[in-house]
Structure 1
């Protein structure tokens, strides 16, 4: 039986050596825009490479925390978070416009992504910050607090699942500081993807299977095994 290749997105513009070589094998890029990594120069370089391929482009805003790569929750006032998110996405949009590149989605990064999944007040602040871009699709965890609020406010939502991460619940990843958080074995990652994409089922870390409605699947460019995982996926689905 032949299966259609799932829609795969990848975090990009994060200073990872060899990142550009992976672009032909993914459908969409989430480009760091100065919160956890990068500036106008890195955004320009990333987009300038990406437009050589038919890749969907999106902004990847974060808590303003380059020291911790955006993977630590921050206590910011609503005004501070709004200003930071707006600044990051505006920066990305300006660079994209300068290159004549169109972009279609927004995906929060790291700790912000996880916090938005469970914190309603934070989700409201984030959605207010991105309101000028409410025609963009949001990549979010299915059944998360922000996914529900975004849909209620008229945003388009794409349910995202991770190829290289294990789950505790439909809207909760295994924390990165725990042993089984990351899937590094390429065959295991491929099986994980296939099960989610074609059986519409997610196996939680404890072995429980739950039904899901996935739209896009993320792989992290900063994992050492990412090139091998993408190669394994390409063997099965093609580029």
Structure 2
């Protein structure tokens, strides 16, 4: 079994990014922006409503407070403030989820915060403290990250994730977005990466080396060109190969 997730609700006001409704017809978990890197109350509530109607799990995609940079710029945040801001974001999405007849089922950091918590001890611990203050929610992150280490230590479920549409370093981390070919846009390359991840528990890094990567969930970024087509092909190929695609969160 494998979960298929996507970053959704990343519009703001009149601005729209990605096709949330089309992706919600394919994925099993929705990482919903909580207003700090993208999203607003109306968008959050609408995505929660659409996810609930399809039986898709709702996750809080928490971020640095960085609307202008789409949460993709590192911020040297005070750990106590970061924990409070994570708690705030999860709580805001939970209100929208409850109004839509569902609930927040897990938490996943976004962008620069996601990457920072791979190695940054204080910020990884702060994110987990913010989640733990809210409740007993699973945390989605990179395998081997400090984030998942601290989640496990706090008694939270650590959910290992890989990306369908991102290139990897030999160390198993994401190639920075500013580097050439950091984002995979060719559907055949995207599908091949997912099938290798799910079938063999490994992926091929940018230097050609093979990296072990046992994962529970695969992400398709909602803002990657061709995201809907990628998600449909991935799900079809997995299911045709006998893999059950289902949400990891109850």
TM bracket, shorter-chain basis? over 0.9
SS of the counterpart of 1:38? coil
Q: Using structure 1 for the length normalisation, give the TM-score.
A: 0.93
Residue 85 of structure 1 is matched in structure 2 by 86
Provide the C-alpha distance between the structure 1 equivalents of 2:130 and 2:92, rounded to a whole number of angstroms.
14
- Closer/same/farther in 2, CA of residues 124 and 68 from structure 1, 3 Å limit: same
Residue 3 of structure 2 is matched in structure 1 by 7
* Structure 1: tracts of 5 or more residues without a match: none
Residue 73 of structure 1 is matched in structure 2 by 74
After TM superposition, give the deviation of residue 170 of structure 1 in Å. Answer: 4.9
Residue 128 of structure 1 is matched in structure 2 by 129
After TM superposition, give the deviation of residue 17 of structure 1 in Å. Answer: 4.2
Given that 1:35 and 1:62 are in contact with CA atoms closer than 8 Å, whether structure 2 keeps it comes out as yes
- The answer to which of 99-108 and 66-75 deviates more is 99-108
Cα shift readout 1:113-136 (whole Å, capped 9, x = no counterpart): 000111011112221122123421
Residue 242 of structure 2 is matched in structure 1 by none
Residue 179 of structure 1 is matched in structure 2 by 180
Given that 1:19 and 1:221 are in contact with CA atoms closer than 8 Å, whether structure 2 keeps it comes out as yes
Provide the C-alpha distance between the structure 1 equivalents of 2:146 and 2:32, rounded to a whole number of angstroms.
24
Provide the C-alpha distance between the structure 1 equivalents of 2:145 and 2:4, rounded to a whole number of angstroms.
20
Residue 237 of structure 2 is matched in structure 1 by 236
Given that 2:93 and 2:104 are in contact with CA atoms closer than 8 Å, whether structure 1 keeps it comes out as no
* Paired residue total: 235
* Structure 2: tracts of 5 or more residues without a match: 12-16, 240-244, 246-250
Given that 1:14 and 1:32 are in contact with CA atoms closer than 8 Å, whether structure 2 keeps it comes out as yes
Given that 2:91 and 2:134 are in contact with CA atoms closer than 8 Å, whether structure 1 keeps it comes out as no
Higher relative contact order (CA 8 A, sep 6+): 2
Residue 216 of structure 2 is matched in structure 1 by 215
- The answer to which of 155-164 and 88-97 deviates more is 88-97
After TM superposition, give the deviation of residue 171 of structure 1 in Å. Answer: 4.3
Given that 1:142 and 1:170 are in contact with CA atoms closer than 8 Å, whether structure 2 keeps it comes out as no
What aligned pairs does 1:77-226 form with structure 2 within 5 A after superposition? 77-226=78-227
SS of the counterpart of 1:173? coil
- The answer to which of 27-36 and 76-85 deviates more is 76-85
After TM superposition, give the deviation of residue 150 of structure 1 in Å. Answer: 1.3
Query: How large is the RMSD of aligned CA atoms in angstroms?
Result: 1.6
Given that 1:144 and 1:171 are in contact with CA atoms closer than 8 Å, whether structure 2 keeps it comes out as no
SS of the counterpart of 1:52? helix
Provide the C-alpha distance between the structure 1 equivalents of 2:238 and 2:148, rounded to a whole number of angstroms.
29
Cα shift readout 1:162-191 (whole Å, capped 9, x = no counterpart): 000011045410000011201100011000
Given that 1:159 and 1:215 are in contact with CA atoms closer than 8 Å, whether structure 2 keeps it comes out as yes
Given that 2:161 and 2:218 are in contact with CA atoms closer than 8 Å, whether structure 1 keeps it comes out as yes
